[in-house]
Amino acid sequence: MNKTFITILILVIVILGGYFLLKRTEVQAPTQETSQTPVITEESPSVDQNVATNIITFTSSGYSPNPLNIRSGDIVTFKNESSVNMWTASGMHPTHIVYSGTSLSEHCPDKTNVTFDACQGIPPGASWSFKFEKIGSWGYHDHLHPTFFGKIIVE
Ligand SMILES: [Cu+2]
């Protein structure tokens, strides 16, 4: 009777020991996965930093930086830090035909945002973004003050 009890007790200890040993290896596995996660998060901000560099500020002295080199598919944000409205548009003034192949009267208002033309004055403190899909050297200007102009080189 005592011998059977001891045998069962040993069996229970062995089974429980094996169970906890297995459970520990299961716990260890996700720990390795979580240690890999920060590597992925470290990559994401560097992508955001690339996007953040494509900012052109518009002040009372015009557009800066100028010219700006970007890659096809990049988004450029034009920030109006002047005290007047800013209407950024493709050359040439007044038709804006160079980037899209269509004139201002044909492509404005641009609901799909595929023509390089804000199609309206952007107020001070606001910004306007455009995604460049076409490779080339694209001159632009402020349609409201055409003496302010710049160039975006898409590679
Ligand atoms: Cu114009």
Residue 148 has pLDDT above 90, yes or no: yes
- CA 74 to ligand 1 centroid distance, Å: 23
Residue 37: predicted pLDDT: 44
- CA 30 to ligand 1 centroid distance, Å: 58
Q: Structure tokens of 118?
A: 């804000």
Residue 22: predicted pLDDT: 54
Return the domain boundaries, the chain: 1-52, 54-154
- CA 41 to ligand 1 centroid distance, Å: 42
Residue 93 has pLDDT above 60, yes or no: yes
Residue range 87-116: average pLDDT?
96
- Residue 17 banded pLDDT, cuts 50, 70, 90: low
pTM of the predicted structure, to 2 decimals: 0.67
Dihedral sign (CA 119, 123, 124, 129) = negative
Residue range 94-114: average pLDDT?
95
CATH code of the domain occupying 54-154: 2.60.40.420
In this predicted model, what pLDDT tens digit does every residue of 40-85 receive, in sequence order? 444 444 444 545 469 999 999 999 999 999 999 999 999 999 999 9
- CA 128 to ligand 1 centroid distance, Å: 16
What CA–CA distances, in Å, run from 79 to 57, 75, 128, 145?
5, 13, 7, 16
- CA 60 to ligand 1 centroid distance, Å: 18
Residue 145 has pLDDT above 80, yes or no: yes
